[in-house]
């Protein structure tokens, strides 16, 4: 922004103005303006006839002055507050990342072995194609649908490696915005916090369908079905393949069939977010059963995948977007447009995580070891879930039914606590969690289950 200069004379007259103009000419216009810009006074004598000269220079205002401070991320903000807390019993149950019983980050042994194989093979660091590593794309689609699935055999799946689940969702959102203009995405209420951000930034309209019932701390199945039926025909319905985030509440197999019926009747397009395959139940096939149900009915669908949780590759940003089409020709065209959208976004994806996945899934020995490690991780979460439930039931003598904790699945549990109660968990008990009452059981150890039970009971009964 240009500086503002004012010259004020107490006895304004033509002679004074002429004198100032002459001095400016002596300095030269550029030098004169430069001095003013720096807030300095030109070194010429003030004429006697000009009894008063005042010069004011405005503060240099940033061209980004209109940009306001963004609110802190609700999840990452929890982690920052946790780090600043010095209480010995503090718990970080906000971030969805697996921890050992000692509450330390865990690198899977099978990942270390895969990385050693990569070092031994002397792989280079050349750019990948836009669609990613061919071996990864093949492995991840087969892992999701099953190698013998007709969608794989008939080459009806367009698979493009994405930047983990988030980037894969964003790529799909760009596809929707460009080729389905005006189409709406239906999102569960509640859902993962970043879903809405992704569709907002992609300029894709969305609305919510009922999912969580606070009265039962369970699934509002009737409300969900009613809202899907009421949506405009041809809407995209975003579904969590397994281990719904944040509630941990999944439909039963029978309910999944009914959901598929309604989506098919309304000519909607199912859009799955699969972030926990194998990590929820401990079984890759069981956790992919919802996706495979829809594919088996010949429905066209979208599936975003992530390997952050099930292989612990959080920082590698490895995932994929899969589009199941009615024909191989359609899949080829869809893949070409996904590549076209990816090119100006990030050009091509990173290779390291993709090679890890391809090596693990493609090597029978490593693949079996991975399945055992997933069972171990899922088993630890199930164990602390059970112990937390047992601890609460032992301490709470009111007869309240806490069984919903056991009915939930995956790393998260919706406690049923409201914002004020969640604040009490943090302020009084040093338990860091999201304000919607969600806790990550992956960040809980067996040793701290009783402490957490005390915190939940106190917050539930003593904070309105």
- List 113, 184, 309, 448, catalytic entry: 309
Residues 362, 371: Cα–Cα separation, whole Å:
13
**Which of left, alpha, beta for 162 (phi over 0: left; psi -120 to 50: alpha)?**
beta
**Which of left, alpha, beta for 243 (phi over 0: left; psi -120 to 50: alpha)?**
left
Supply the Cα-derived Rg of the chain in whole angstroms. Answer: 30
- Angle subtended at Cα 123 by Cα 120 and Cα 126, rounded to the nearest 5 degrees: 165
Q: Is 370 exposed, middle or buried (0-12, 13-18, 19+ CB in 10 A)?
A: buried
Residues 324, 138: Cα–Cα separation, whole Å:
14
Q: Is 406 exposed, middle or buried (0-12, 13-18, 19+ CB in 10 A)?
A: middle
Q: Which residue has the tokens 């391809």?
A: 358
Residue 192 annotated in active site: yes
- List 227, 273, 287, 429, catalytic entry: 273
Contact status, residue 308 vs residue 314, Cβ threshold 8 Å:
yes
- List 192, 370, 402, 429, catalytic entry: 192
Name the token pair of 296: 């088996």
Residue 370 annotated in active site: no
3-state secondary structure of 186: strand
Residue 309 annotated in active site: yes
Angle (deg, nearest 10), helices 364-395 and 449-462: 50
**Which of left, alpha, beta for 47 (phi over 0: left; psi -120 to 50: alpha)?**
beta
Contact status, residue 444 vs residue 464, Cβ threshold 8 Å:
no
Q: Which residues are catalytic?
A: 192, 273, 309
């Amino acid at each position: 922004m240009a500086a503002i200069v004012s010259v004020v004379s107490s006895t304004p007259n033509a002679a004074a103005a002429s004198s100032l103009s002459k001095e400016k000419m002596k300095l030269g216009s550029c030098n004169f303006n430069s001095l003013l810009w720096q807030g300095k006074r030109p070194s010429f004598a003030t004429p006697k006839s000009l009894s008063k000269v005042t010069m004011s220079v405005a503060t240099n205002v940033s061209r980004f002055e209109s940009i306001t401070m963004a609110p802190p991320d609700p999840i990452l903000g929890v982690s920052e507050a946790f780090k600043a807390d010095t209480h010995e019993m503090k718990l970080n149950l906000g971030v969805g990342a697996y921890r050992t019983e000692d509450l330390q980050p865990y690198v899977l042994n099978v990942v270390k072995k895969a990385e050693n194989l990569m070092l031994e093979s002397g792989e280079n660091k050349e750019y990948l194609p836009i669609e990613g590593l061919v071996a990864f794309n093949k492995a991840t689609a087969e892992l999701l649908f099953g190698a013998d699935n007709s969608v794989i055999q008939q080459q009806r799946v367009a698979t493009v490696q994405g930047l983990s689940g988030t980037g894969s969702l964003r790529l799909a959102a760009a596809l929707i915005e460009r080729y389905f203009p005006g189409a709406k995405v239906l999102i569960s209420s509640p859902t993962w916090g970043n879903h809405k951000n992704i569709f907002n930034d992609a300029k894709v309209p969305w609305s919510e369908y009922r999912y969580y019932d606070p009265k039962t701390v369970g699934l509002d199945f009737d409300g969900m079905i009613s809202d899907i039926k009421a949506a405009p025909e041809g809407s995209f319905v975003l579904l969590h393949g397994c281990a719904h985030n944040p509630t941990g509440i999944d439909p039963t197999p029978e309910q999944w069939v009914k959901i598929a019926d309604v989506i098919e009747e309304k000519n909607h397009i199912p859009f799955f977010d699969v972030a926990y395959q194998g990590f929820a139940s401990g079984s890759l096939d069981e956790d992919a059963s919802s996706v495979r149900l829809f594919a088996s009915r010949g429905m066209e669908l979208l599936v975003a995948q992530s390997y952050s949780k099930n292989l612990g590759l959080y920082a590698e940003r490895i995932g994929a977007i899969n589009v199941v089409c009615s024909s191989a020709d359609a899949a080829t065209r869809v893949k070409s447009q996904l590549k076209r959208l990816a090119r100006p976004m990030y050009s091509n994806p990173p290779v390291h995580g993709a090679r890890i996945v391809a090596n693990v899934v493609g090597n029978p020995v490593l693949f079996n070891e991975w399945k055992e490690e997933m069972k171990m991780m899922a088993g630890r979460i199930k164990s602390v879930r059970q112990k937390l439930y047992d601890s609460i039931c032992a301490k709470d003598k009111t007869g309240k039914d806490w069984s919903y904790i056991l009915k939930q699945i995956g790393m998260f549990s919706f406690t049923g606590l409201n914002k004020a109660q969640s604040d009490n968990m943090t302020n009084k008990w040093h338990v860091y969690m999201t304000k919607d009452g969600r806790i990550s059981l992956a960040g809980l150890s067996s040793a701290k289950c009783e402490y957490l039970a005390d915190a939940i009971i106190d917050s539930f009964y003593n904070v309105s």
